[in-house]
């Protein structure tokens, strides 16, 4: 992605340290945008092993939706050959054993069954914050100064439809319904028959939900796009000059979770009217953060529909209604919609909105650290330390004077005395949290 996101995670780490009053370890995906669990790496590589073992860990899974089953099956390769498997904890995301009963999971979704799965395991304390709201402020920062004055629009709708794998398979049916309702000619849109992220043709796709299987041969009606995955972190001014309304196809649609990404925040930043194809209640979610939607301009009752297929059909019907506006109605309605859109841009770039997001993060982290301190230290950790140092391969590693030590095993911890200090640190931290 085009901005140095580690700056954001350093800020989160600083906020957490101030709230906790001591060192906090941050893990985030590097390179950014990766979903590979082995790319979930420590932010500050200068932290020694002793600090890592005696500090709370914050796992930042705050850009993509959580997937408990995926992370349960796809485990991180850590400490191979160092610890006997019988003494390694098998945890979903909370991989590295430290002295605490629980660590913290930073995420970006509400109304989430996935979050509840992690909470039920009693290994992680979930902390919500709307990360995309801050990240998008950087990605779209020049939209604050751009003039998005409409030309005589050549299309009524801008529909970005690059990838359809994973949670986005609903987009196949959306493209199909554009064809069935004669809306393709009203849209600036594309479609990739072969998903660019997994290299699979949709004819060979195994559906999680069969209702999204299209009836038409989609590639006969749409041209493909070569846009990269990072294109959602950018905007093209001409797209907004030449289209009346953006139809946002979010990452989640047939789900219960509220998880809005840069796809939704882009029209907000660019002062564009939009229709939002997302999970039920997503427009209400936006209004809770101070944005205005277009309920006074067109029918937004689709946001209240629980059944995903019926919600999609309602969005298509709305597009058909808008496409049939006469010129006078169109001009009047779009003028009204653009007033709302310009309000949204002003609010999006305001210091008050930024403060709202960071205040929520701080408040939620504060509550999490209170719970964290109530949980305290893990009584089995001390026993684990005493057991593990008896294994010859471990004893050799921690008493080694060579530099041939795995990156997961800190070079500063080379003696058994250091290990004994860890046990003392356990007792000191236990007393601190009482």
Summarize pLDDT for 259-316 with one digit per residue, the tens. Answer: 999 999 999 999 999 999 999 999 999 999 999 999 999 999 999 999 999 999 999 9
What's the confidence (pLDDT) of residue 408? 38
Please, are residues 92 and 157 in contact by the beta-carbon 8 Å criterion?
Answer: no
Q: Is 413 exposed, middle or buried (0-12, 13-18, 19+ CB in 10 A)?
A: buried
In angstroms, the first-to-last Cα distance of the chain is: 43
- Greater model confidence, 148 or 319: 319
pLDDT digits (tens, 9 = 90+) for 63-82: 999 999 988 888 776 655 55
Cross-sheet strand order for the sheet of 274-277:
187-189, 155-159, 243-249, 274-277
What's the confidence (pLDDT) of residue 422? 67
The share of the chain scoring above pLDDT 90, in percent, equals: 68
> Residue 233: is its pLDDT beyond 80?
yes
The encoded tokens of residue 319 equal 């597009």
What's the confidence (pLDDT) of residue 93? 85
Helix (H) or strand (E) holding 128: strand 124-128
> Residue 115: is its pLDDT beyond 90?
yes
pLDDT band of residue 405 (cuts 50, 70, 90) is very low
* Mean local confidence (pLDDT), 385-401: 63
> Residue 38: is its pLDDT beyond 80?
yes
The topology (CATH level 3) of 143-350 is: Rossmann fold (3.40.50)
The share of the chain scoring above pLDDT 70, in percent, equals: 86
pLDDT band of residue 154 (cuts 50, 70, 90) is confident
On the CB side of 8, how many CA atoms lie within 13 Å of its CA?
Answer: 22
Calpha distance 286→267 (Å, rounded): 12
The answer for residues whose C-beta is within 8 angstroms of residue 424's C-beta and 6 or more apart is none
> Residue 7: is its pLDDT beyond 70?
yes
Total count of residues recorded for the chain: 434
The encoded tokens of residue 296 equal 């006074």
Eight-state DSSP code of residue 415: S
What's the confidence (pLDDT) of residue 415? 41
The encoded tokens of residue 336 equal 């009204």
* Mean local confidence (pLDDT), 132-138: 96
When the pLDDT of each residue in the chain is averaged and rounded to a whole number, the result is 88
Rounded to 5°, angle at Cα 429 from 424 and 432: 130
Name the residue ranges covered by the structural domains of the chain.
6-128+377-433, 143-350
pLDDT band of residue 195 (cuts 50, 70, 90) is very high
Q: Give whichever of 70-74, 148-152, 241-245 has the largest mean pLDDT.
A: 241-245
What's the confidence (pLDDT) of residue 414? 40
> Residue 1: is its pLDDT beyond 50?
no
Please, are residues 252 and 278 in contact by the beta-carbon 8 Å criterion?
Answer: yes
DSSP-assigned beta bridge partners for residue 110: 258
Specify the range with the lowest mean pLDDT, choosing from 32-41, 191-200, 230-239, 339-348: 32-41
> Residue 142: is its pLDDT beyond 50?
yes
CA 48, distance to chain mean position in Å, is 29
pLDDT digits (tens, 9 = 90+) for 203-224: 999 999 999 999 999 999 999 9
What's the confidence (pLDDT) of residue 395? 62
pLDDT band of residue 358 (cuts 50, 70, 90) is very high
Phi-psi category of residue 199: left, alpha or beta, with phi > 0 → left and psi -120 to 50 → alpha: left
Helix (H) or strand (E) holding 189: strand 187-189
Specify the range with the lowest mean pLDDT, choosing from 239-253, 279-293, 355-369, 411-425: 411-425
Please, are residues 244 and 273 in contact by the beta-carbon 8 Å criterion?
Answer: yes
pLDDT band of residue 409 (cuts 50, 70, 90) is very low
Please, are residues 121 and 92 in contact by the beta-carbon 8 Å criterion?
Answer: yes
> Residue 380: is its pLDDT beyond 90?
no
Global pTM value? 0.89
The three-state DSSP-derived secondary structure of 32-63 is: CCCCCHHHEEECCCCCCHHHHHCCCEEEECCC
Can you say whether the dihedral through the CA atoms of 256, 258, 139, 16 is positive or negative? negative
What's the confidence (pLDDT) of residue 362? 98
pLDDT band of residue 427 (cuts 50, 70, 90) is confident
């Amino acid at each position: 992605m085009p901005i140095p996101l580690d700056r954001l995670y350093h800020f989160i780490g600083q906020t957490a340290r101030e709230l906790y009053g001591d060192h906090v370890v941050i893990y985030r995906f590097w390179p950014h945008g990766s979903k590979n669990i082995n790319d979930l790496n420590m932010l500050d590589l200068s932290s020694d092993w002793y600090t890592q073992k005696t500090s709370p860990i914050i796992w930042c899974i705050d850009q993509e939706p959580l997937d408990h089953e995926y992370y349960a099956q796809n485990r991180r390769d850590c400490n191979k050959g160092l610890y006997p498997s019988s003494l390694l904890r098998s945890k979903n995301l909370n991989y590295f054993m430290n002295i605490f009963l629980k660590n913290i999971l930073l995420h970006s979704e509400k109304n989430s069954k996935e979050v509840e799965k992690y909470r039920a395991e009693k290994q992680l304390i979930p902390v919500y914050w709307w990360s995309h709201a801050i990240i998008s402020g950087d990605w779209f920062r020049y939209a604050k100064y751009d003039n998005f004055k409409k030309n005589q629009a050549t299309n009524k709708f801008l529909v970005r439809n690059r990838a359809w794998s994973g949670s986005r398979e609903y987009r196949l049916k959306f493209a199909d319904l554009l064809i069935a309702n004669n809306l393709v000619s009203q849209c600036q849109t594309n479609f990739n028959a072969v998903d660019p992220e997994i290299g699979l043709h949709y004819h060979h796709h195994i559906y999680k939900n069969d209702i999204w299987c299209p009836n038409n041969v989609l590639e006969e009606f749409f041209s493909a796009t070569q846009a990269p995955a990072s294109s959602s972190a950018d905007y093209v001014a001409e797209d907004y000059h030449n289209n009346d309304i953006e139809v946002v196809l979010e990452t989640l649609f047939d789900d219960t979770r509220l998880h809005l990404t840069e796809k939704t925040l882009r029209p907000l930043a660019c002062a564009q009217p939009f229709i939002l194809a997302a999970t039920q209640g997503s427009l209400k979610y936006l209004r809770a953060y101070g944005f205005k939607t277009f309920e006074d301009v067109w029918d937004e009752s689709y946001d209240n529909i629980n059944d995903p297929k019926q919600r999609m059909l309602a969005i298509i019907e709305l597009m058909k209604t808008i496409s049939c506006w006469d010129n006078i109605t169109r001009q009047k309605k779009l003028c009204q919609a653009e007033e709302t859109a310009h309000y949204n841009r002003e609010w999006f770039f305001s210091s008050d909105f930024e403060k709202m997001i960071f205040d929520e993060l701080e408040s939620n982290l504060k509550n999490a650290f209170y719970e964290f301190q109530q949980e305290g230290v893990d009584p089995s950790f001390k026993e684990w330390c005493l057991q593990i140092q008896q294994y010859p391969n471990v004893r050799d590693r921690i008493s080694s004077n060579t530099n041939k030590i795995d990156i997961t095993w800190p070079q500063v911890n080379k003696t058994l005395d250091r290990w004994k200090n860890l046990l003392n640190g356990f007792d000191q931290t236990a007393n601190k949290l009482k």
